[in-house]
Structures are given as structure tokens and as C-alpha cells.
Structure 1
């Protein structure tokens, strides 16, 4: 059940259940399912009806919204997206997240930081979650192109939405939802001034995309290139921790 506490000592209970469908996707599922019934039952056109049934199932699967077990550790920065790690690089944070904005809200400091990029295919869950708990300080939408989201330049040229969250102790985390080749809309669930918890749902990107996370200075990735991420559960990094992690591809 959502909200139950579980731990790595076997305490707590959690049962598998069919994931709910986010309201954003229910209308598309209803439309596709309704058309499938029309062609199957009224017109007896199975060569159109059955593909529409498959499309309905695909839409419902795309907008699935499973519950997640969020680590209760103040040091943890959790993954904001399902998918796989496609880049881990040292970069300057986006200008939209750096320094004071016109309202005087302090942003990320200038200087290179580690950026972890997570690519979501159309088969991944597309509900995005906050890497940390705190207050939403910025929500900046930037129009742009719709190139493949796994390209490096997608961070600067694609349609995107920057989110800045500040913890109660002043730690700032910036992350960016990036539309991809097929994605055509970024849907936010939060606004500046909202208080959110680590792992809380903050938005979605429709039909294949990417999320970039900018780690605070002095914090390094705990994940590897190609590693599978689970939004709200996988720990990307621990605040202030620097370590070398190596893996073997096989």
C-alpha cells in the first residue's frame, strides 16, 4: 500500500499490484479504445479494430504510474526518471538555473558539475519524480527542437523544462526534462513555491525523452553508463560523497 514504510531488514509489506494509469493518459486510452470497439462491433473491420486494441494497450502502458519505494536518507539523490544512463559528464549548469533570477531567487553556482543524463524509451514509465525534497524555486520552460534525446546537444537545443529544488538546509538540485524525437509535450505537476518530497511526482514527458540531473559540487555519481534507473528508487548520488565506481561490461 502507498505510504507504508519498508526497509532492507525485511520490515514492512509491499505487494505487487497493477499500476494505475495517470489521468493525463486516460483520455487517450478511452479514445483509442472507443474507436477499436466501433470498428470491431459496428463495422466488423477487424483489420482496423485489432490494431486499435493494441494501440490502446500501448497507450495505457505508456501512461502507467506505479508506486515506488522512496529511500528515506537525507543524503540520497534519487533518480528522477526510469530509463538508462546515457551520459555522465562534467558541464556548466544551464544558464536558466544559475545565479539570481529576476525575482531574486538564488540559483546554482557557476562552475562545472557532474551531469547525469537518463534516456527514457517509449517502453519506460514516463512519470518524472523529484531527486530531493524541498521547495520548488524555479520552473523554466524553454521552447526548442525535437532532436533525438540521446544526443548531447539536446540539452541545449531541444524543448525542455528546468526545475530547481532547494532543501531546507539550502542544498540546491537542478534537473531538466527534455523532449525527444517523438515527444511533443512536457507536462508539469508542480509550480514555484510548492513544497515537495523526495521521489514525489513532478511531471511527465510524452512519448520518449530524457532527464538531466546536475549534482552539487563535490558530489559524484554512484551509477554507471548504461545502468537501468528506477525513478524515485535508484540512488544516483549521496550528497558530499566522492568515490570511484568501476564496472565490467559483459
Structure 2
């Protein structure tokens, strides 16, 4: 299953690959050049298909947990001052996606979208400390039943040139539902309340709509 954001690219790449194979088969007499070109074209198609894959992940919404919004590796767990919307201290969990990861963004929690804004910007490498405030990005805030308001940012990386965000203010969303897509290497920051219980560790690999990032902190914790 492939993401809708990749349909045009997949179809275009497919026809280019077919054309390349046909042309090289009939018009290039040097065998190693012909075979090399055909192999390169097929590998390119496989990479495009791999990048835009969209595995189906069924989720039973859990109001006590925040799930990973994307596949990737946890590269930061820290307290930050959030100046755009919350204007207070937040627990930030940053997840870096390499080009080989699934790049679908999924809602980390169920609730109502209270804020959704796109910001043009730079294309610093996604793990750069300033990428969350200087790169092209979107900021989305969801009001949840148990955690109150939580936020996340889709952040473009050095390779990414287009962020797709489906969140609209006032919309009711469901945990695990498709929230958007980031084309090529990128990062997502979760902005969580200080009193939540972070359940992942630095450098841990996480799976979107599967790995629990944070849970409600019990009174005796």
C-alpha cells in the first residue's frame, strides 16, 4: 500500500523506467552500459516505492498514551521553552526519520485540533538544534481528554522540500489516523506537558502508531 502523496511520483517514475528499459534495449549496443542503465532504473523505482510505502496500522485509541507520530529514532528528550503557541515549558521528544523510514505522519493522540500553522523556512539538517525553529515546518496542537493540549511539529530536513499537513483547526482527529507526510529525510518534535511520563529513551527506534512515547503520570510515580 502506497501513500496518496506519492501517486504522481510513482506513476511518473514507472513510465520513465519503462521508457529507459525499452530505449536501452533497442538502441544501446554496448552490453554493460545497457544492463547497467536498466538496473539503475529498476533500483530507482524500487527506492521510490519503498519511500512512499504506507503500511496499514490499526489502532485502538488509548487516551492515557501518546503514540509515536512517525517511524524513526529518538534524537532528543528535553525541556524547552515553546514560544509559538504554548508560551511555557514543554517536554520535547524529537524523532528523526532517515530516507529509508516510513514518512507518514500519524496523529499521536485523539482529540480536537486547536491550532495548525505552516511556516516557511530554511533546510538545515534535521538534527540541527535550530532546525525546529528555523526550518520549513508545521505546528499542530491537539486538545486531548487526558493530557490537555499537546503539540507536534513536522520539520523539513536538508533533503525534504515539501511538508504535507492534513490537520485543520476544529477537526476531530483519532489516534493513529493519517495526519500528513514529509517528503524525504526529516524530523517530528512532540511538545508534551511537563507532568507526563516519558516512556522512550534517547536513540531508541520507534514505530508510528505503535510505540508509546508518553503516558499519564500516576499520583504515586
* Aligned twin of 1:231: 208
- Offset from partner CA, 1:37-73 (integer Å, 9 cap, x none): 1121134244333312211111111111111242542
* Aligned twin of 1:6: none
Tell me: CA distance 1:147–1:70, structure 2 relative to 1, closer, same or farther (3 Å). Answer: same
Residue 96 of structure 1 pairs with residue 84 of structure 2? yes
* Aligned twin of 2:6: 25
1:172 aligned to which of 134, 143, 149 = 149
Find the residue that maps to 1:81 and give its secondary structure.
coil
Structure with the higher fraction of residues in helix conformation: 2
Q: CA RMSD in A?
A: 1.9
Task: Using CA pairs under 8 Å that are at least 6 residues apart, name the structure with larger relative contact order, 1 or 2.
Answer: 2
What pairs with 1:181-196 in structure 2 (closer than 5 Å)?
181-196=158-173
The answer as to whether partners of 2:106 and 2:179 remain within 8 angstroms in 1 is yes
Separation in 1 of the partners of 2:219 and 2:39?
53
Structure with the higher fraction of residues in strand conformation: 2
The answer as to whether partners of 2:5 and 2:181 remain within 8 angstroms in 1 is no
* Aligned twin of 1:117: 94
What's the offset of the Cα at 1:92?
Answer: 1.0
Aligned residues between the structures: 213
Q: Structure 1 length as normaliser, TM-score?
A: 0.80
What pairs with 1:1-250 in structure 2 (closer than 5 Å)?
20-44=1-25, 45-93=34-82, 95-98=83-86, 110-168=87-145, 171-241=148-218
Structure 2: gaps of 5 or more residues = 26-33
- Offset from partner CA, 1:154-180 (integer Å, 9 cap, x none): 111111100011124681111100000
